Amino acid sequence: MKYINEEKINYLLADAAKLDGCQLDIILDKAKSLKRLTLKESAALLSVKDPEDIQKIFAAASFVKDTIYGRRVVLFVPLYISNLCVNSCLYCAFKSDNPLIKRKALTVDEINAQTEWLLNRGHKRILMVCGEEAPSGKSNIDYYTEAIKAIYAAEVGKNKIKRVNVNCAPLSINEFKKLKQSGIGTYQIFQETYHEQTYRRMHPKGPKSDPDNRIDAVDRAFTAGIDDIGIGALYGLFDWRFETLGLLSHIEHMEEKFGVGPHTISVPRIEPAEGAELSLRPPYKISDDEFKKVVAILRLSISYAGIIMTTRENALMRDTLLSLGVSQISAESNTSPGGYSAGDKEQACLPDQQAGSQFSLGDQRSLDEIVGTLIAHDYIPSFCAACYRMERTGETFMQLAKPGTIKGKCSVNALITLQEYLDDFASAKVKQAGYKMIERYFNKLDNVDQDMLKLFFSHVDSGVRDEYV
């Protein structure tokens, strides 16, 4: 596979002899000073087995996360617009040869209605997701751009979606240019596995069967001017240590060629998917403890990138991973196109296992419950999309994120958007805890102009929405 040197990864993993405590401390000190770790250093961390040493890795990862991002956690929700797909990924319910799911591609009106439902719940950031096949008569890119327009057009009171990120199949440079023009935030694409032989086995048919075309999509997106890119590996297809070094090798390639690494990293684990046998027994299932290590080591190796955790994981695991480096989480997701009940504010999502969903979910909590839990654990829930709208993307974002300078802005924006959420959508219990949190942070944030923040809060009180720094 292009850009991935399997021999080197195998060598590094085999060579990552047991560290002595002193070497481990040197690597962790380097990571804590926010310096990029080498592949060799990351391989060494991946080989750590001693429980005490693992706790040291976890503590260092928490430190790095707090230094870069502070206590804020960004919330988003996926919007599945279609489950039509020409590919046959062995692990996914949307694969073309799966007769068990009901196929659906949402119309523009349906996308608008789904977005309104999400706005009514308090969501502000959407990840648009779909299979690789447009409804008949349309090209993929035209379908995507129409859908993005419909999402941004939806409005409920003063609330609109602030940022649409997109997870869709690879496009050509010209198509990526159109995607950028439609106003997307991050373009997300997961390589699934960085092990070429496994990749070919898992993707037997369709355009996705070419691993080089997929990995090159990131380069094409950059070339087209999209500089916030999210990458990821689907854990469970091959050895987790190999995949983590594969991800890190891919990042080295991005940094070398474009001077910018990924805006976000995702580490989905395979979940059971209807009609996709392999998803029930992933060939390289990764345990919870190994998974925690992966998140912590990614946080230490690439301090500047956001790490995303979706509702594939259960509530307990997601709460734990927040302290190890996760900075963005999804909430009350449904992986079926049309799965959110349009128009009915109180009605919960349609059952997750309904025909048409991509995989089953581990965390079924409502947005309000998730916001409440974040507050209880002293994390500031954030609905901010300021960086992208202030053009703090790509290299500009990295320059703020690498030394941790972004933290001040993140915390202020998180508090403003939290107050908006509390005023407009929260339950009485969450409101009470949230206002207390705002008061607490107002008094303790370093280097923040309190008068300015007070002014923002008074604006929110008087009904102004969507201010940010």
Query: Which residue's CB is nearer to ligand SAM, number 268 or number 434?
Result: 268
Q: How far is the CB of 359 from ligand SAM (least distance, A)?
A: 4
Residue 306 partner contact from ligand SF4, ligand SAM, none using kind-dependent CB cut-offs of 5 to 8 Å: none
Q: Are strands 328-330 and 306-309 parallel, antiparallel or unpaired?
A: parallel
Smallest distance, ligand SF4 to C-beta of residue 105, A:
12
- How far apart, in whole angstroms, are the C-alpha atoms of residue 138 and residue 135? 6
Least Å from the CB of residue 198 to ligand SF4: 15
Residues of span 435-464 touching ligand SAM by CB under 6 A: none
132 forms part of the interface with ligand SAM (CB under 6 A): yes
Q: Taking Cα atoms as reference points, which of 282, 262, 263, 284 lies closest to residue 271? A: 282
Residue whose CB is less far from ligand SAM, 190 or 442: 190
Nearest one of 181, 241, 189, 195 to 220, comparing CA atoms: 189
Binding segment toward ligand SAM, per CB under 6 A, in 32-40, 55-63, 184-192, 446-454: 184-192
Nearer to ligand SAM, 47 or 213 (CB): 213
Of residues 190 and 284, the one with the C-beta less far from ligand SF4: 190
Per the CB < 8 A criterion, the answer to whether 81 and 132 are in contact is: no
Mark the segment that binds ligand SAM (CB under 6 A) among 9-17, 197-205, 267-275, 399-407: 267-275
Nearer Cβ to ligand SF4, position 129 or 415?
Answer: 129
Judged by beta carbon distances under 5 to 8 A according to partner kind, the member of ligand SAM, ligand SF4, none in contact with residue 234 is ligand SAM
Of 76, 359, 379, 383, which one interacts with ligand SAM (CB under 6 A)?
359
Q: Phi and psi (nearest 5°) for 45?
A: -65, -40
Work out whether 334 is an interface residue with ligand SAM (CB under 6 A). Answer: no
Q: Which one, of 238, 169, 176, 172, lies nearest residue 201 by Cα?
A: 238
Q: At closest approach, how far in Å is the CB of 167 from ligand SAM?
A: 5
Pick 27 or 254: Cβ nearer ligand SAM: 254
Rounded to 5°, angle at Cα 452 from 450 and 455? 110
Comparing CB distances to ligand SAM, the nearer of 166 and 445 is 166
Residue with tokens 């379908």: 143
State the Cα–Cα distance between residues 136 and 362, nearest whole angstrom.
33
Q: Which stretch binds ligand SAM (CB under 6 A): 47-55, 63-71, 166-174, 196-204?
A: 166-174
> Nearest to residue 429, comparing CAs of 373, 381, 389, 387?
373
Which residues make up the interface to ligand SF4 (CB under 6 A)?
A: 85, 87, 89, 92, 94-95, 131-132, 208
Q: Does 284 sit near ligand SAM (CB under 6 A)?
A: no
Q: Which is nearer to ligand SAM, 85 or 251 (CB)?
A: 85
Q: How many Å apart are CA 406 and CA 399, to the nearest integer?
A: 9
Which residues here bind ligand SAM, judged by CB under 6 A?
91-92, 129, 131-132, 167-169, 189-190, 192, 234, 268, 270-271, 273, 279, 312, 358-359
